[in-house]
Chains A and B, each alone.
Chain A
Amino acid sequence: AQSVTQLGSHVSVSEGALVLLRCNYSSSVPPYLFWYVQYPNQGLQLLLKYTTGATLVKGINGFEAEFKKSETSFHLTKPSAHMSDAAEYFCAVSEGDTGFQKLVFGTGTRLLVSP
Chain B
Amino acid sequence: DTGVSQDPRHKITKRGQNVTFRCDPISEHNRLYWYRQTLGQGPEFLTYFQNEAQLEKSRLLSDRFSAERPKGSFSTLEIQRTEQGDSAMYLCASSLLPGSGNTIYFGEGSWLTVV
Q: Do A and B bind each other?
A: yes
Interface residues of A (CB under 8 A from B): 4, 9, 32, 36, 41-46, 49, 51-52, 90, 92, 96-97, 99-108
Q: How many A-B residue pairs have CB under 8 A?
A: 65
Q: Is the CB of B107 within 8 A of A103?
A: no
In the complex, 25 of the A-B residue pairs with CB atoms within 8 angstroms, ordered by the A residue number, are: A9-B40, A32-B101, A42-B108, A42-B109, A43-B106, A43-B107, A45-B106, A46-B103, A46-B104, A49-B103, A52-B101, A90-B43, A96-B101, A97-B99, A99-B98, A100-B48, A101-B98, A101-B102, A102-B33, A102-B45, A105-B42, A105-B43, A106-B42, A107-B41, A107-B42
The chain A residue with its CB closest to the CB of B4 is: A43
In the complex, how many residues of chain B place their beta carbon closer than 8 angstroms to a beta carbon of chain A? 30
- Give every chain B residue within 8 A of A96 (Cβ-Cβ): 98, 101
A103 to B33, CA, bound (A): 10
Q: Is the CB of A108 within 8 A of B41?
A: yes
Q: Is the CB of B103 within 8 A of A90?
A: no
Contact of B31 among A9, A90, A92, A101 (CB under 8 A): A101
The chain B residue with its CB closest to the CB of A102 is: B45
Q: Within 8 Å of chain A (Cβ to Cβ): is B28?
A: no
A52 to B100, CA, bound (A): 9
A52 to B6, CA, bound (A): 32
A8 to B97, CA, bound (A): 34
- In the assembled complex, the CB of A4 is this many whole angstroms from the nearest CB of chain B, namely 8
A7 to B43, CA, bound (A): 17
